[in-house]
């Protein structure tokens, strides 16, 4: 199943709060546009067992805006993180923030 969210129109709610944490979801592709991503959203995403890719467009991660980020789940141990280096400067702090929430997976960062 693919799941797309354009702009969070809800007040005082985060992406991960749209789901019940006790359920397992069959989401394979996640496409988010203009969403504020916080730590609990990354933790929720990391726990989606069937997930193959996550694409973020014009989203903020931990209050830092990015035009494009793509997570490709190569296997249960490896995630490839792609970003447009001409538009975005993926800071060490953001990379650390992402890595902490996707442990124990290894993250390989690639500029596109």
Q: Model confidence over 33-76: pLDDT tens digits?
A: 998 899 999 999 999 999 999 999 999 998 899 999 999 999 98
Is the predicted pLDDT of residue 101 greater than 70, yes or no?
Answer: yes
What band does 81 get if pLDDT is binned at 50, 70 and 90?
Answer: very high
| pLDDT score, position 41 | 93
Residues contacting residue 22 through CB under 8 Å, at least 6 positions apart: none
> How many whole angstroms separate alpha carbon 79 and alpha carbon 71?
6
What band does 82 get if pLDDT is binned at 50, 70 and 90?
Answer: very high
> How many whole angstroms separate alpha carbon 101 and alpha carbon 85?
22
Mutual orientation of helices 39-46 and 92-101 as an angle, nearest 10°?
50
Tell me how many domains the chain contains: 1
pTM: 0.85
**What average pLDDT does the segment 96-100 reach?**
91
> How many whole angstroms separate alpha carbon 30 and alpha carbon 51?
8
Is the predicted pLDDT of residue 106 greater than 90, yes or no?
Answer: yes
Q: What is the DSSP letter of 81?
A: E
The residue range of the domain holding 70 is 2-111
112 close to 103: Cβ distance less than 8 angstroms: no
- With pLDDT > 70 as the criterion, what percentage of the chain qualifies? 96
Alpha-helical segments (H) within the chain: 39-46, 92-101
């Amino acid at each position: 199943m693919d799941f797309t969210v354009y702009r969070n129109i809800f007040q005082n709610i985060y992406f991960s709060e749209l789901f019940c944490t006790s359920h397992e979801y069959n989401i394979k592709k996640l496409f988010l546009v203009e969403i504020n991503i916080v730590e609990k959203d990354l933790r929720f995403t990391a726990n989606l067992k069937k997930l193959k890719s996550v694409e973020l467009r014009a989203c903020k991660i931990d209050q830092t805006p990015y035009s494009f980020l793509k997570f490709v789940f190569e296997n249960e141990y490896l995630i490839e993180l792609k970003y447009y280096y001409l538009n975005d400067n993926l800071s060490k702090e953001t990379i650390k923030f992402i890595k902490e929430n996707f442990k124990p997976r290894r993250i390989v960062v690639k500029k596109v």
